[in-house]
Structure 1
Amino acid sequence: MTDLSNKTIAVIATDGFEDSELTSPLEAVKQAGATVKVVSTKTSPIEGKNGTKVDVNLSTAEAATQEFDGIILPGGTGNADHIRMDEHAVALVKQHVGAGKPLGAICHAAWILTDADVLKGRTLTSYPSLQTDLRNAGATWVDEEVVEDAGLVSSRTPDDLPAFNAKLLEIFA
């Protein structure tokens, strides 16, 4: 059993997230003992596209100065598109990846990585419609269930969650 009891993991999301892509990894790291902080563009609860409501612990502006042991970025087209437009979220992701800390992105979540300019020379996967954006940002895109490249974990869709969660637990430990 993976022990993350000494780790603090941020989940960065806003309204319109893909419900299972937020709740499943969040539960996996919580069950492993991690402290989880939900970080969003607002401090009121956020709602997934299928109606799941999640309380927010910190705004992206508040979180920008904090250190996290890992970051999870759930997908959902609307969520991913809005998060990448938030300068604080982009700065947090850029700083985190730049420090060599682990991050997981599933489905459309990889969009923010293009804005954070952290993909040059990296290999990852995503929802297939993002492959041109990711390649244009300097990444090698592959169609695989889960890809890990120097602490950057990526997956394509909710179908990949078991492999994504297992790899997150591994790199966060």
Structure 2
Amino acid sequence: MTKFDLQGKTIAFLATDGFEQVELTEPWEAALKAGAEVQLVSLKSGKIQGVHHDEKGDQFAVDKTVDEVSAEDYQGLVLPGGVFNPDALRVNETAMDFVRDFFKQGKPVAAICHGPWSLVEADVVADRRLTSWPSLKTDLKNAGATWVDEECVCDEGLVTSRNPDDLPAFCNKMLEEFAEGKHAKQTA
């Protein structure tokens, strides 16, 4: 049992082929243990391919496609990393609208490693403090963010971390923000 209660909350995990597997599975398990319903949302139905860095991981069944969902259906969003995953998501306008809508609705969002690439494309990082995998630093700064090299950063409901080593802190803060709910200052 966790100290955060997510009973009655549904959390979306947005990913596609090439997501860093542990960056989906650990937050997923943490949300489940806290009582949340979790759904894997992707660009396509069927299964998507996880990776362990540059090696193939497991395949995961998609619950819904981005064409079938609305941010209104969820109380939080998780964006796992992996290099290919956010790069593919950010060129899909429906996926970016889905991400942007969480910010418009003031709902918490958690992004780890390369996951914040989607936040750049959704144009929701200006004037925010966050972290990521170091190679995204310039992209985030160019999009108006203040990038810091810290284990876990939270800015008005936006939780970010650098890499899988940060998962314990990331999951804890993510659960706290999901339990807390809506953030008035969280705007797109």
Q: Under TM normalisation by the shorter chain, which class is it?
A: over 0.9
One of 138, 141, 146 as aligned partner of 1:135: 141
CA RMSD, Structure 1 to Structure 2 (Å): 1.0
Q: Does 1:163 align with 2:165?
A: no
Q: Residue type of the partner of 1:18?
A: E
Structure-to-structure mapping, 1:11-22, within 5 angstroms: 11-22=13-24
Q: What does residue 25 of structure 1 align with?
A: 27
Identity across matched positions, percent = 53
Q: Residue type of the partner of 1:36?
A: V
Query: SS of the residue aligned with 1:114?
Result: helix
Q: Does 1:110 align with 2:121?
A: no
Larger CA deviation: 74-83 vs 62-71: 62-71
Compare the two structures and name the one with the higher strand fraction.
2
Aligned counterparts of 2:126 and 2:89: Cα–Cα separation in 1: 21
* Deviation, structure 1 residue 80: 1.1
- Structure 1 stretches of 4+ moved >4 Å: none
TM-score by length of 1: 0.97
CA contact (8 A) 2:4 2:34 kept: yes
Q: Deviations over 1:30-81 (max 9, x none)?
A: 1111000100000111111131221111001111464210000000000110
Could you list the runs of 5+ residues in structure 2 that have no partner in the other structure? 180-188
TM-score by length of 2: 0.90
Structure-to-structure mapping, 1:1-173, within 5 angstroms: 1-49=3-51, 50-64=56-70, 66-173=72-179
* Deviation, structure 1 residue 147: 0.1
